[in-house]
Chains A and B, each alone.
Chain A
Amino acid sequence: NAGVTQTPKFQVLKTGQSMTLQCAQDMNHNSMYWYRQDPGMGLRLIYYSASEGTTDKGEVPNGYNVSRLNKREFSLRLESAAPSQTSVYFCASSELPTARGEKLFFGSGTQLSVL
């Protein structure tokens, strides 16, 4: 039971570099999410995809782009990394959108440092 798989687990970037965080789920879930977690703060939603073929901005979308490649995969791209994007990034999925109080399943996170 892989659940939600994120790669990489750790990454160090220089300011201005780009990278893509990968996420895949094997639970046939419709909805997928990208969050960031900063010290002393709750999770903040970056982007989400309620269903295959749709994506929407969350609370903190600036500096990020996403692609819902297919039902399984949802990637997060940083086009020009900034130190403010140093954070732990989590991918999550749910069977249905959270409007119905659905349980979220999380990956184990990517710790990203931007120097």
Chain B
Amino acid sequence: AQTVTQSQPEMSVQEAETVTLSCTYDTSESDYYLFWYKQPPSRQMILVIRQEAYKQQNATENRFSVNFQKAAKSFSLKISDSQLGDAAMYFCAYRSEDSNYQLIWGAGTKLIIKP
């Protein structure tokens, strides 16, 4: 069965600096999707970025980018120019073919932004 591991329970970064959140996953599939979702204090999850495994190019959304290393099964999220509004829990998720295509979620990383 697939698993998703976020090894950093908590990270902190100075405002305007860059931070990288780690995510690794275990799978034997070759075609899949990976996601980063943000959960602010309001609790409502919001999609930050999505990556298709067959695409070599790393996904980018404004200040958010990923470093997708397929062979290493690593999918890290880089946040540039961190802002106070980036403070949240960040969850990595994997679309699992084995689980009838449902998402497998990591335990989350709490990101603290220091002013």
Residues of A within 8 A of B (CB): 40-45, 48, 56, 58-59, 88, 90, 92, 97-99, 101, 103-104, 106-109
CA distance A107 to B44 in the complex (A): 6
CA distance A106 to B37 in the complex (A): 10
Find chain A residues with CB under 8 A from B9 CB: 40
A45 B43 Cβ-Cβ under 8 A: no
Closest to B106 in A: A42
Among B62-70, B74-82, B97-105, the stretch that binds chain A is B97-105
A43 B105 Cβ-Cβ under 8 A: yes
Residues of B within 8 A of A (CB): 4, 9, 33, 37, 42-47, 50, 52, 91, 93, 95, 99-108
Find chain B residues with CB under 8 A from A58 CB: 102
Given A43-B91, A103-B47, the answer on whether A98 and B42 have CB atoms closer than 8 Å is no
B2 to chain A, nearest CB (A): 12
Q: Which 6 A-B pairs have the closest CB atoms?
A: A42-B105, A99-B101, A101-B33, A106-B45, A109-B43, A43-B105
Given A42-B106, A43-B91, the answer on whether A98 and B45 have CB atoms closer than 8 Å is no
CA distance A109 to B103 in the complex (A): 18
Find chain A residues with CB under 8 A from B52 CB: 101
Find chain A residues with CB under 8 A from B102 CB: 45, 48, 58-59, 98
B50 A42 Cβ-Cβ under 8 A: no
The 8 Å CB contact of B107, one of A40, A48, A99, A104, is: A40
B104 A42 Cβ-Cβ under 8 A: yes
A42 B107 Cβ-Cβ under 8 A: yes
